[in-house]
């Protein structure tokens, strides 16, 4: 461990030690300690703790790390990241810039590649002011979870506030978990499918973890009645919350495929719902269902304008970004996930959406998911057991292969749809909604019966 004294009388240290290491510093020093909190074959998760050991409040901080060629930062949380060449700059996420005397904050990041930082600076001054670049710290993962797990029986009671950790989704105790649940159909068409009895069945009979609330923007959706659809979404999030379910708020853009067409609507909508649900620990924001006919650069630009709107109200919520080619990681438009890895969204605590329809999307899509999952946090926010039309043959063999893969990779999923639409992707037989019964298999289609059997199996929490 070394110390660096800054012009402002502030010193910063990088520690080659575990998360638990306490760095001895002069009483007037601010410190930053870097640790590796997890690693895998082609990447690792890093954490930097910034501590104000001075006797007065500081109002901001800026940490810069240099990474060797071949290693890049894919994602970070609790900080805003930017890159210039091989130098990665981290500034406060917005809520953690001010540190009272003695206070500390941490931010984390995911590196693609195994190279550890070769130098560090804080507030523009070298961390190793006396003798050149610092030696990269090499540390081991913590052996104890950072916080005590919540207790209770519902998915939310057991897991609490989620965050992206490396390429996984972690619960409040830092454990990687998989969420499994169902997506609504379009709220403009199937509102009668979402009532006390059907949501009780989802929580208690299906033992689901998750309700995806799918709010179309076009096709008679949000654009026709923003206040009404916002209220409908808010109500369903409350219903999910009462049952201890996680909720994904899906801004269901589809046609037109460029989410920027709906940018102003997205900002208005997400400002409202994130303010309403800011204090909840069970809300995940999906900002664009299926971008199509738009470049990755266009999607990234959209994401970087919508995410700050959410973060301003709800700084710790996970946000999911749709991917190119109907959220196929680009595959359906001849691209691959490499375009994301090479140019990730500049935001922390985010995941990328992947969608599949099992009768249409098979081995080449599975191979891409497996490859992408090594470096990108993925969530299957929508999939069907059928063809991409939402109808046609139910392909249980391909569905099983898909879900086995997602289970193995701990990738969460929501199935299209928890509705009685007259199409083979729907879980309920036509005419079920509006009636009294949703539990059990008597009301289910072939697809619904299979999904219920998968979702009911024990969680890995």
Burial 105-144 (b: 16+ CB within 10 A, else e): bbbbbbbbbebbbebbbbbebbbbbeeeebebbebeebee
256 contributes a contact to ligand IDC by CB under 6 A: no
Q: Which stretch binds ligand IDC (CB under 6 A): 93-101, 140-148, 276-284, 386-394?
A: 386-394
Tokens of 187: 């709220």
User: Which residues 183-242 are close enough to bind ligand IDC by CB under 6 A?
Assistant: 219
389 contributes a contact to ligand IDC by CB under 6 A: yes
Q: Nearer to ligand IDC by C-beta: 349 or 415?
A: 415
The active-site residue, picked from 286, 290, 368, 423, is: 290
382 contributes a contact to ligand IDC by CB under 6 A: yes
Tell the burial category of 309 from Cβ atoms under 10 Å away from its Cβ (0-12, 13-18, 19+). buried
User: Which residues 261-320 are close enough to bind ligand IDC by CB under 6 A?
Assistant: 289-290
> How many residues line the site for ligand IDC (CB under 6 A)?
15
Least distance (Å) between residue 37 CB and ligand IDC: 35
At residue 110, the 3 state secondary structure works out as strand
Q: Nearer to ligand IDC by C-beta: 357 or 438?
A: 357
Peptide bond into 156 cis (omega under 30): no
423 contributes a contact to ligand IDC by CB under 6 A: yes
Q: Nearer to ligand IDC by C-beta: 326 or 428?
A: 326
Least distance (Å) between residue 211 CB and ligand IDC: 16
357 contributes a contact to ligand IDC by CB under 6 A: yes
The residue number whose beta carbon is nearest to ligand IDC equals 390
User: Which residues 314-353 are close enough to bind ligand IDC by CB under 6 A?
Assistant: 326
Q: Nearer to ligand IDC by C-beta: 209 or 382?
A: 382
30 contributes a contact to ligand IDC by CB under 6 A: no
Least distance (Å) between residue 446 CB and ligand IDC: 16
CB 3 within 8 A of CB 32: no
254 contributes a contact to ligand IDC by CB under 6 A: yes
Q: Specify the residue for token string 């904050």.
A: 105
Residue 272 annotated among the catalytic residues of the structure: no
* DSSP output for 341-398: HTS--S-BSEEEEEEEETTT--HHHHHHHHHHTTTS-EEEEEEESS-TTS-S---HHH
Q: Nearer to ligand IDC by C-beta: 272 or 290?
A: 290
Q: In sequence order, what are the beta bridge partners of 89?
A: 64, 82
Q: Nearer to ligand IDC by C-beta: 107 or 222?
A: 222
390 contributes a contact to ligand IDC by CB under 6 A: yes
The active-site residue, picked from 49, 368, 382, 423, is: 382
Q: In sequence order, what are the beta bridge partners of 182?
A: 211, 415
362 contributes a contact to ligand IDC by CB under 6 A: no
> Phi and psi at residue 154, in whole multiples of 5°?
-75, 160
Q: Specify the residue for token string 């639409």.
A: 421
376 contributes a contact to ligand IDC by CB under 6 A: no
Q: Which stretch binds ligand IDC (CB under 6 A): 65-73, 85-93, 277-285, 383-391?
A: 383-391
Q: Nearer to ligand IDC by C-beta: 290 or 420?
A: 290
Tell the burial category of 422 from Cβ atoms under 10 Å away from its Cβ (0-12, 13-18, 19+). exposed
Q: Nearer to ligand IDC by C-beta: 49 or 286?
A: 286
Tell me how far CA of residue 109 lies from CA of 45, 72, 79, 205, 422, in angstroms.
Answer: 6, 10, 9, 38, 45
- Quote the Cα angle for 283-244-190, to 5°: 70
Burial 240-255 (b: 16+ CB within 10 A, else e): bbebbbbbbbbbbbbe
Residue 49 annotated among the catalytic residues of the structure: no
Q: Which stretch binds ligand IDC (CB under 6 A): 22-30, 96-104, 384-392, 448-456?
A: 384-392
Q: Nearer to ligand IDC by C-beta: 80 or 425?
A: 425
User: Which residues 72-111 are close enough to bind ligand IDC by CB under 6 A?
Assistant: none
> Phi and psi at residue 211, in whole multiples of 5°?
-120, 120
Conformational region of residue 347, where left means phi above 0, alpha means psi within -120 to 50, and beta covers everything else: beta
402 contributes a contact to ligand IDC by CB under 6 A: no
Least distance (Å) between residue 356 CB and ligand IDC: 9
C-alpha–C-alpha distance, residues 369 and 336, integer Å:
10
Least distance (Å) between residue 183 CB and ligand IDC: 9
**Residue (of 409, 394, 390) closest to 447 by Cα position:** 394
Residues that bind ligand IDC (CB under 6 A): 219, 254, 289-290, 326, 355, 357, 382, 388-390, 416, 421, 423, 425
Residues designated as active site: 290, 382
């Amino acid at each position: 461990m070394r110390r660096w004294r800054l012009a402002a009388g502030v010193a910063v240290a990088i520690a080659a030690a575990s998360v638990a290491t306490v760095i001895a510093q002069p009483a007037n020093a601010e410190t930053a300690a870097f640790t590796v909190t997890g690693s895998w074959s082609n990447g690792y998760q890093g954490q930097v703790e910034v501590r104000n050991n001075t006797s007065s409040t500081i109002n901001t901080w800026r940490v810069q790390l240099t990474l060797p060629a071949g290693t890049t930062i894919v994602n970070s949380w609790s900080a805003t990241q930017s890159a210039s060449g091989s130098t990665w700059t981290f500034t406060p996420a917005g809520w953690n810039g001010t540190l009272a005397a003695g206070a500390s904050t941490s931010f984390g990041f995911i590196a693609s590649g195994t190279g550890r930082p070769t130098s560090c600076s804080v507030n523009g001054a070298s961390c190793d002011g006396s003798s050149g670049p610092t030696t990269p710290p090499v540390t081991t993962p913590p052996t104890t979870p950072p916080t005590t797990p919540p207790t209770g029986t519902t998915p939310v009671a057991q897991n609490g506030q989620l965050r992206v950790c490396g390429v996984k989704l972690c619960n409040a105790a830092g454990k990687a978990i998989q969420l499994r649940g169902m997506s609504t159909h379009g709220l403009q068409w199937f509102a009668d499918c979402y009532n006390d009895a059907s949501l009780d069945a989802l929580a208690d009979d299906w033992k689901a973890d998750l309700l995806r609330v799918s709010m179309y923007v076009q096709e008679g959706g949000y654009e026709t009645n923003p206040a009404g659809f916002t209220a409908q979404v808010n109500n369903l999030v409350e219903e999910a919350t009462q049952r201890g379910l996680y909720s994904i708020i899906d801004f269901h853009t589809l046609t037109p495929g460029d989410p920027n067409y709906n940018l102003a609507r997205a900002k208005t909508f997400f400002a409202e719902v994130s303010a309403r649900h800011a204090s909840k620990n069970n809300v995940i924001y999906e900002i664009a269902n299926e971008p199509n006919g738009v470049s990755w650069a266009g999607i990234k630009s959209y994401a970087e304008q919508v995410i700050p709107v959410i973060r301003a109200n709800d700084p710790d919520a996970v946000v999911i970004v749709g991917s190119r080619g109907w959220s196929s990681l680009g595959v359906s438009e001849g691209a691959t996930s490499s375009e994301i890895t090479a140019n990730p969204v500049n935001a922390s605590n985010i995941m990328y959406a992947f969608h599949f329809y099992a009768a249409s999307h098979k081995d080449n899509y599975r191979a891409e998911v497996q490859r992408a999952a090594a470096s990108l946090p993925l969530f299957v926010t929508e999939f069907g057991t059928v063809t991409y039309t939402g109808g046609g043959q139910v392909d249980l063999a391909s569905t099983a292969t898909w879900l086995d893969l997602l289970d193995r990779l701990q990738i969460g999923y929501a199935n299209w749809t928890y509705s009685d639409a007259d199409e083979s992707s729907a879980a309920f037989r036509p005419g079920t909604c509006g009636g009294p019964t949703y539990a059990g298999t008597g009301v289910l289609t072939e697809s619904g019966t299979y999904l219920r059997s998968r979702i009911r199996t024990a969680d890995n929490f």
